[in-house]
Amino acid sequence: MLSDGQPELALTQHEHWQDTYRAHPAMYGSDPSEPALYSADVFAAEGVERILELAAGHGRDTLYFAHRGFTVAATDFSEVAVAQLRQTARAQGIAARVEATVHDLRNPLPQLSGSIDGAFAHMALCMALSTKEIHAVVDEVGRVLKPGGKFIYTVRHTGDAHYGAGRAHGDDIFEYGGFAVHFFCRELVESLTAGWILEDVHAFDEGELPRRLWRVTATKPG
């Protein structure tokens, strides 16, 4: 539940994503995202073996990572999406490299401290999370990452066409078409780098709208 006074938004978003995955299995297709392609190459160059993916959905990026030879701890708060991911991993013969867990990002991560080599999150942090909760998620990622591990994440930013559109929930969260998004300003990205080494902030577009995003690469100090 949202810790900043919006538990109803957390509940309605959970149900919206559940219904969406039921109605549209594999809604994002089977091809990996561009950030996943980039991240896999970065992780491979770093000698990463175990990846944490936040808000993995039905798993198009998780499955790609597993086929690249990584072991992936994938989380999502939708039971429907996690079930789809597990089923597809079994069908593709890579279930041994995929650990899919139902998990709400508002709660502490289930992984042990220092047990993850690299972390990846494609649009996870820009879900209906308050600024306070986003900071808590990044702190949790820092806890489970090994020293020197990289966290690569993407977020929709305030230059996006949907910023300011639809229903406003405060804290730069806007709901459009049933999906609530926390749009990032550059100041939020900078504030999240406290205690991290910020390697890169790369602007890119995705989809037909298009969505406008930043891909952020940060390293936990060794």
Condensed to tens digits (0 to 9), the pLDDT of residues 160-205 reads: 999 999 999 999 999 999 999 999 999 999 999 999 999 999 999 9
Average pLDDT over residues 103-119: 97
**Which pair of tokens denotes residue 206?**
């995705």
Query: How high is the pLDDT of residue 7?
Result: 77
Would you state the pLDDT for residue 4? 53
pTM (two decimals): 0.93
Regarding predicted confidence, which is higher, 110 or 2?
Answer: 110
Instruction: Give the pLDDT score at 196.
Output: 98
Instruction: Give φ, ψ of 44 to 5 degrees.
Output: -60, -40
DSSP-derived pairing of the beta strands 211-219 and 145-156: antiparallel
CA torsion through residues 70, 71, 75, 79, sign: positive
- Nearest-CA neighbor of 72 among 92, 51, 89? 51
**DSSP label at residue 127:** S
Q: What is the CA radius of gyration of the chain?
A: 16
Q: For residue 221, is the peptide bond before it cis, meaning its omega torsion is within 30 degrees of 0?
A: no
Q: Tell me, what's the pLDDT at 3?
A: 41
User: Could you give the domains of the chain?
Assistant: 30-220 (3.40.50.150)
141: helix, strand or coil: helix
Specify whether the backbone of 207 is left (phi greater than 0), alpha (psi in -120 to 50) or beta. Answer: left
